[in-house]
Amino acid sequence: MEILFLGTGAAEGWPGVFCQCRCCEKARALGGKNLRTRSSVQIDGEYKFDLPPDTYHHVLTHNLNLADIRHLFITHCHEDHFYWKELAMRGRPFAHRRSEAALHVYGDRWVKETAAWQELSNAGLSFHEVEPGGSYQAGEAWLYPFQANHLEDKGALIYVFQKDGISLLYGHDSGFFYEEVWAELSRFHLDVVVLEGTHGEEDVWDNHMGIPAVIRTRERMLETGIASEQTVFVATHFSHNGGLLHHELEERLNPHSILVAYDGMRLEVPRRD
């Protein structure tokens, strides 16, 4: 399984579009791994989590062809994760695709209600409404959604994604998981865990996470057998408001065996037979 981190920033990106704070000015000066676009991950060139406003930038930067994506998983309806108008570019006259295969889009009812699907009628889409606790086949993969600790008035999901014997948790946007979600996750042994570190060193546990919650999540997964020492843990979705540049995030998280994602980072996970 190849996991490509297309973007690793929070809603405003890093540096923030209009921001002049110390962290954004420093990121502009240093460049490299400190420059973060809105978060998204692509798996094996066929599966994608979220559709942020930076999608076209990702296509150009990473030499992608999104016509190859067959399954798109949306975590929640916030525009930095679901910029639905981009899907219109899949239809004529904006795109002339060699294949008429549908792009399967998965999300909860809030995702369904956010987009004006009538405007996307010629984009070759097939929407699948998913619910927490369900299981859904997506090509050669299986998808298991769970309720995220995010958005009180509208839904948000985290996902377990299984393919080629590998189990991956895509765990943002979410604060520390609800107890009922911990109980559901006990059914899995995870090979890769993607968490979020939006708030940096801040002691934040609800809606988003700070580093203390990220570290405790890994510890609890090891304690309960959901993960092992061989499980790859990755933190992503960082905000400049968290106050830590890339090397500072590594200094805090690497000692706890947690990788710090950056735009363009690739993970290769061997197939499990």
Domain assignment present for 273: no
Q: Would the pLDDT of 223 be above 70? A: yes
User: Which residues pair with residue 144 across a beta bridge?
Assistant: 160
Q: Would the pLDDT of 102 be above 90? A: yes
Domain assignment present for 65: yes
What pLDDT does residue 257 have?
A: 98
User: Which residues pair with residue 107 across a beta bridge?
Assistant: 129
H helices present in the chain, as ranges: 22-30, 55-61, 109-114, 179-185, 211-224, 246-253
| For range 255-273, the mean pLDDT | 94
| For range 90-98, the mean pLDDT | 94
Q: Would the pLDDT of 271 be above 90? A: no
- Cα 248 to Cα 9, 166, 201: the distances in Å are 15, 30, 10
Q: Would the pLDDT of 58 be above 80? A: yes
Residue pointed to by tokens 């930095």: 80
Domain assignment present for 146: yes
What pLDDT does residue 273 have?
A: 67
Confidence of residue 152 (pLDDT cuts 50, 70, 90): confident
| For range 22-36, the mean pLDDT | 97
Q: Would the pLDDT of 87 be above 70? A: yes
Residue pointed to by tokens 């791994």: 33
What pLDDT does residue 153 have?
A: 81
Q: Would the pLDDT of 119 be above 80? A: yes
Domain assignment present for 118: yes
Give the total number of structural domains in the chain. Answer: 1
What pLDDT does residue 26 have?
A: 97
**Domain CATH for 222:** 3.60.15.10
The answer to whether 253 touches 8, Cβ cutoff 8 Å, is no
Q: Taking Cα atoms as reference points, which of 75, 71, 74, 79 lies closest to residue 101?
A: 71
Q: Would the pLDDT of 166 be above 90? A: yes
Q: Rounded to an integer, what distance in angstroms lies between the CA atom of residue 151 and that of residue 271? A: 35
What would you report as the CA-atom Rg of the chain, rounded to the nearest whole angstrom?
A: 18
Q: Taking Cα atoms as reference points, which of 106, 200, 101 lies closest to residue 160?
A: 106
Q: Rounded to an integer, what distance in angstroms lies between the CA atom of residue 181 and that of residue 30? A: 39
Confidence of residue 272 (pLDDT cuts 50, 70, 90): confident
Task: Quote the domain boundaries for residue 63.
Answer: 2-268
Domain assignment present for 240: yes
- Cα 231 to Cα 71, 263, 267: the distances in Å are 25, 21, 12
Q: Taking Cα atoms as reference points, which of 36, 5, 2, 38 lies closest to residue 265?
A: 5
| For range 129-158, the mean pLDDT | 95
Given the DSSP bridges, would you call strands 141-147 and 136-138 parallel, antiparallel or unpaired? antiparallel
